[in-house]
Amino acid sequence: MSSSSKGNKSKGKRILSDTEDTLKAEPPKKKVFPIFNKSSGSQVSEDSSFMWKRHAILTSTCLYGSNLSPKLRSKIAAFDLDGTVIKWDPSGKDASFEYWNTKVPRMLKDVHDQGYSVVFFSNQNVHEKKLLIWKQKISSLARALHEVPFTLFAATAKDGFRKPMPGMWLALEKIAQESGAQIDRDNSFFVGDAAGRKGDFSGTDRKFAENLRLRFLTPEEHFLQQKPKEYTLQGTHISKLVPTTNKVDDPKEEEPPIPQNKNIAELVLFVGSPASGKTTFYQKHFDPAGYIHVNQDKLGTRPKCLKLAEEQLKNGISCVIDNTNRDKKTRELYVRLAKSIGVPIRCFAFKTPKELAWHNNLYRSYCLPFLSPSPETNKKIVPYGAILGFESAYEEPSTEEGFDEVRSIEWEPDFGDDPEKERLWNMWLQIDGK
């Protein structure tokens, strides 16, 4: 199974409707927890100091709030919540909690006193009733940690905010920048129990830290100073999926995609799964040459694609059909069109493995918007089933269908001069799985 595999058995949470811009969490009718487990410890106020908030960079699927209105610092002491700071409650029916270890509250206060911002990152993809109870649990935790300012992010859906996806951390950095703080990743760390060890339900916390180049510790290592244990991260990292070469993969690979002596219009048909690199290939090679981009996602229907292509070709303008075109029946429509007008038609078949296509899909839908929010980067995620569906119905194109030429294209990375794009693409990207 790939790094972006499906079928997660870990517990997540799902979204609630938006609340007010700043909403004070309702205190549960439970006992109050002293911050430290001392017999002489005094109880704190029944009123929680935790506040739920909103921010423009966050969607409704990512909860965000803070305790004691902390000012973000450059050094971050980041923690997973369930199984790391508090014991995991599989029932989700109780708003009370128990610390993972009695050392937890004291050590949280210690890292705050040492100049770190305490930040919790949690995956919470559960139904609405359990999420309400979980929010009450956060109020209980905030009352107990009445001397520890902290910030909290919780991903409530399987999207770009869910660990190990980088969304929650990128949102933290954005919020910190707006407050005048620059987060120092080199001197920050992340503690989580999903570490890929024998008996761990997953390795997503360790992957999250690897993605962000943060020092990673398990709860046992951080709170109990135990030695690290061996681990194995399931899935296939993207570095193992990239072709060894990125080029046109056929005997004519040295020829440019566009004929040098082109003097008549032509029709170019792309064949490939969603997120296989078709549009990027068009933008790099065909757009500068004036080829019209014909795409069903933009036009809405296949007849509209055929109509636009016909109009442009009759006016002597070349076109690229940037759709999946997975079977002969679909491609035949465009072959007939080209023959009826009397223009050549070439086929470019993109040989992108399904797991690489899924990775690209997650990257463009959930990572690129953080770098440059715009309609061009705001692409909806393509369901994994659509990529599998392409593979199951795929028919290899050939010149016997009427094409003047068929080229096979390997996936071609193109990050321009932006190292941040390349860094994000090289992460563990998954919204499900271990």
Please give the backbone phi and psi of residue 219, each rounded to the nearest 5 degrees, phi first: -55, -35
Judge if 23-224 and 267-412 fold alike in CATH terms. Answer: yes
Please give the backbone phi and psi of residue 104, each rounded to the nearest 5 degrees, phi first: -55, -55
Model confidence pLDDT, tens digit, residues 212-245? 999 999 999 999 999 999 999 999 899 888 765 4
The predicted pLDDT at position 252 comes to 52
Paired strand residues for 151: 66, 119
Q: Of 161, 253, 270, 242, which is closest to residue 208 (Cα–Cα)?
A: 161
Confidence bin at 254 (pLDDT 50/70/90): low
Furthest-apart CA atoms within the chain: distance in Å = 91
Written out in words, the top-level CATH class of the domain with range 267-412 is alpha beta
The predicted pLDDT at position 19 comes to 35
The predicted pLDDT at position 168 comes to 98
The predicted pLDDT at position 415 comes to 87
Cβ-contact 166, 424 below 8 angstroms: yes
- Residue range 165-174: mean pLDDT, rounded: 98
Model confidence pLDDT, tens digit, residues 73-97? 999 999 999 999 999 888 778 889 9
- What is the percentage of the chain residues whose pLDDT exceeds 70? 85
The predicted pLDDT at position 376 comes to 61
pTM, two decimals, is 0.84
Which residue did the predictor score with more confidence, 133 or 261? 133
The domain 23-224 is classified under which CATH number: 3.30.830.10, 3.30.1360.30, 1.10.10.10, 3.40.50.1000? 3.40.50.1000
Q: Where are the beta strands (DSSP E) in 206-284?
A: 215-217, 267-271
Model confidence pLDDT, tens digit, residues 378-433? 688 999 999 999 999 999 999 999 999 999 999 878 888 899 999 999 999 999 98
Q: Using CA atoms, how far apart are residues 364 and 24, in angstroms rounded to an integer?
A: 35
pLDDT surpassing 90 at residue 302: yes
Model confidence pLDDT, tens digit, residues 320-357? 999 999 999 999 999 999 999 999 999 999 999 999 99
Q: Using CA atoms, how far apart are residues 271 and 351, in angstroms rounded to an integer?
A: 9
CB atoms near residue 230 (< 10 Å): 7
pLDDT surpassing 80 at residue 8: no
Cβ-contact 381, 4 below 8 angstroms: no
Confidence bin at 363 (pLDDT 50/70/90): very high
Q: Is 300 left (phi over 0), alpha (psi -120 to 50) or beta?
A: left
Burial of 431 by CB count in 10 Å (0-12 exposed, 13-18 middle, 19+ buried)? buried
In 237-327, which residue ranges form alpha helices assigned H by DSSP? 278-281, 296-299, 302-314
Half-sphere exposure for 254 (CA within 13 Å, toward CB): 1
Q: Using CA atoms, how far apart are residues 111 and 94, in angstroms rounded to an integer?
A: 29
What's the one-letter identity of residue 101? N
Model confidence pLDDT, tens digit, residues 308-322? 999 999 999 999 999
pLDDT surpassing 70 at residue 191: yes
pLDDT surpassing 50 at residue 136: yes
DSSP 3-state of 90: coil
Confidence bin at 359 (pLDDT 50/70/90): very high
Domain boundaries, the chain: 23-224, 267-412
Please give the backbone phi and psi of residue 192, each rounded to the nearest 5 degrees, phi first: -155, 155
What is 24-72 written as a DSSP string?
EPPPPSSPPPPSS--TTPPP--SS--EEEE--TT--TTEEEEEES-PPP
- Sheet with strand 215-217: strands edge to edge: 23-24, 50-53, 62-67, 150-155, 116-123, 75-79, 189-191, 215-217
The predicted pLDDT at position 414 comes to 82
